Amino acid sequence: MRFHAPIRPELRNWILETTRAGHNVADLLRLMHETGYSPQESRRILAHVLKMPVSAIDARARPQQHGKSVRIRLPDGPHIVADKHPLRVMLSLEAPPLRVFDELLTTDECEALIELAKPRLQRARTVNVDGGQQIDPNRTSNGMFFALGEEPLIRRIEARIAALLGIPVDHGEGLQVLHYLPGQQYEPHQDWFDPHQPGYAAITATGGQRIGSLVMYLNTPAAGGGTAFPEIGLTVTAQRGAAVCFTYEGGDAASLHAGLPVIKGEKWIATKWLRERPYREKAGRD
């Protein structure tokens, strides 16, 4: 049995007084984390002092969400039409839910996205614990974000994705374009946010949890650069105009994936992350 140190009277009184002053559980957890308590210990202490189960602490710590929650509808093929655009389903898996699409984007659309993105490229970042952006040594590409509906081309692609997956445009994060040179990669990772990690409430305060990812290939690298799913032994080859979409509602470990190193040439991709609720973008992401 794990030993827990007794709760100091000063800490108990602070929790009760802070609660009476109108602060909620999320505030208390944040303040305790800032003073050095681990998330697990903070939850245990609050549960004991406030006389409620840890599950109730977790529920109260979640941010209030507004807007309707949705689920992604992955289509079956082989031939489908999304917003008047014909395409094909080349591969279909159910564990994890995954589809590989051919001809999701036209050659002209791929080239136009690359040209629009080039002047705004910066070192690609990942989401940190407060919902902002950070440099990650596991991600060595350059990238940029488009705002929702920023260009006619972006609006057309967003409408196509919404029709393809049965999810409203406003549930998507801004389209991100990434550029990889030889040797650059993105090591194995999950796109969904771990609810047990510090900062989960901040990351999901708008839009809620991520529920799916769509990776669109804007060119065909000379060698390498595919998307690997090590838990299921699958690698999707990067082919211009094709895309892979996978969902992970509830945090599916099988959705672990990696952007494999480019061996020769370069790789351009566009990524769309989808949220369970309407997403409001933060300013200054690129």
> Are residues 191 and 152 part of one domain?
yes
> Are residues 143 and 28 part of one domain?
no
User: So what's the pLDDT on residue 283?
Assistant: 46
Residue 70 lies in a domain: no
| Peptide bond before residue 96 is cis, with ω within 30 degrees of 0 | yes
Res 139 pLDDT > 80: no
> Are residues 240 and 212 part of one domain?
yes
Rounded to an integer, what distance in angstroms lies between the CA atom of residue 99 and that of residue 74?
7
Max Cα distance, the chain (Å): 67
pLDDT bucket at 2, cuts 50 / 70 / 90: very low
Domain with residue 230: its CATH number is 2.60.120.620
Question: 């992955």: which residue's tokens?
Answer: 74
> Are residues 36 and 114 part of one domain?
no
Buried b (16+ CB within 10 A) or exposed e, 123-162: ebbebeeebebeebeebbbbbbbbebeeeeebeebbbbbb
Kindly report, residue by residue over 174-225, the tens digit of the pLDDT. Answer: 999 999 999 999 999 999 999 888 788 888 888 999 999 999 999 999 999 9
> Are residues 92 and 52 part of one domain?
no
User: So what's the pLDDT on residue 25?
Assistant: 79
What backbone torsions phi and psi does residue 278 show, to the nearest 5 degrees?
-55, 135
The pTM of the whole model exceeds 0.75: no
In this prediction, residues 76-86 reach a mean pLDDT of: 93
Q: Residue 110 sits in which domain range?
A: 79-275
Kindly report, residue by residue over 244-277, the tens digit of the pLDDT. Answer: 999 998 899 999 999 999 999 999 999 999 999 9
Residue 47 lies in a domain: yes
Rounded to an integer, what distance in angstroms lies between the CA atom of residue 276 and that of residue 183?
34
In this prediction, residues 65-69 reach a mean pLDDT of: 61
Higher pLDDT, 240 or 202: 240
> Are residues 199 and 57 part of one domain?
no
> Are residues 143 and 19 part of one domain?
no
Domain count, the chain: 2
> Are residues 83 and 56 part of one domain?
no
